[in-house]
Structure 1
Amino acid sequence: MHLRALEPDDLEFLYALENDPDIWGVSDTLAPVSRHALREYLAHAGADFYVVRQLRLVITTEIGSPAVGVVDLFDFDPLHLRAGVGITILVSERRHGYARQALELLKNHARQLLRLHQIYATVGADNAASLKLFRAAGFRRVGIRHSWLRTATGWQDAVEWQCLLQPSAGI
């Protein structure tokens, strides 16, 4: 398993991923994304994490192999050294353990290179696969937000997950 930076050649992969309506519900997306918008995004994807406060990495099974998904750090808070985590694996590549391995690599990257204290995730209460994934990846369930996510069928609870990457000093 390998995480790499976005490349201009990822345009068609991102276009397919971002325009898959089956994942819009978990990615807060309401409309298709144009190739032009994605080209602009790719042109600035290498910007400093501390400036743009987000990072998207491509998941591959080995160096040079095709992308199987993406993992994101977003809403980076430089004061508290924490960021949200999102992960998407192509439908055809799911159930191979790629998401679990990618989260481990991301945790190491966040801890060792970005020096984050913690990462967190918000998962829809009915997303059994993601709930299982974050538990298996060492995240701790820390709460429920009731009627937090609007879906096509109504409001849904969200489960909050947290993973401490650095030891906390006691108060």
Structure 2
Amino acid sequence: MATLLGKHISLRALEPEDLNFLFSIENDESFWEISNTQLPFSKYILKNYIENAHQDIYEAKQYRFVICNTANTPVGMIDLFEFEPQHSRVGIGLLVLPNYQRKGYASEALELVIEYAFTRLNAHQLFANITQDNNKSIALFEKFNFKIAGTKKDWIFFNNGYKNELLYQLIKH
């Protein structure tokens, strides 16, 4: 899969040199709520993940892009997941590291992935699962015309409490 280029970012495949970057993100407990992670990952497991990240999205049903700024510094990741070619749909997950937020990287990454999914994957619809209290993500996805399709009550258990999760969809017309 080729690199996707924007004005201020690029989206590229995972590379072996991303191991420490991936290790720091996957083992940062502040991100575990959105990733449904409960235990830390070893570098060995993540190294194997990177080695298999070349799999085609049609085979793996998912794909992870690294978001890089103009200095080619990784600033986050945007994932396509639960890809269903038969039903022409795919989920989107997005994470930008706190130091790089509010610089437009998330917006540009989401715009590039929406275009990619609709034109290259021939998706009919995209979806995102966002906890009801994640106002930054809600505002971002609504900016790109994602609409609430439903609420999953008490869906996420984290820090001894339940949260509702909103299902957002963008349907190509």
Q: TM-score, normalised by structure 1?
A: 0.92
Taking the aligned partners of 1:11 and 1:151, their CA distance within structure 2 comes to 27
Q: What are the within-5 Å matches in structure 2 for residues 91-106 of structure 1?
A: 91-106=98-113
Which 4+ runs in 1 deviate beyond 2 A?
Answer: none
Partner of 1:24: 32
Tell me which of 32, 36, 57 is aligned to 1:49. 57
Ranges in structure 1 where 5+ consecutive residues have no aligned partner? none
Partner of 2:158: 151
Taking the aligned partners of 1:154 and 1:126, their CA distance within structure 2 comes to 13
For 1:27-63, what per-residue CA distance to the aligned partner results, in whole angstroms no more than 9, with x for missing partners?
Answer: 101011111011101111010111110000011123x
Taking the aligned partners of 2:135 and 2:92, their CA distance within structure 1 comes to 17
Partner of 2:96: 89
Partner of 1:117: 124
Percent of pairs with identical residues? 38
Tell me which of 44, 50, 55 is aligned to 1:36. 44
Offset, 1:65: 0.8
| AA in 2 matched with 1:114 | L
Aligned residues: 165
Please give the root-mean-square deviation of Cα atoms over the aligned residues, in Å: 1.1
Taking the aligned partners of 2:160 and 2:143, their CA distance within structure 1 comes to 29
Q: Secondary structure at the match of 1:83?
A: strand
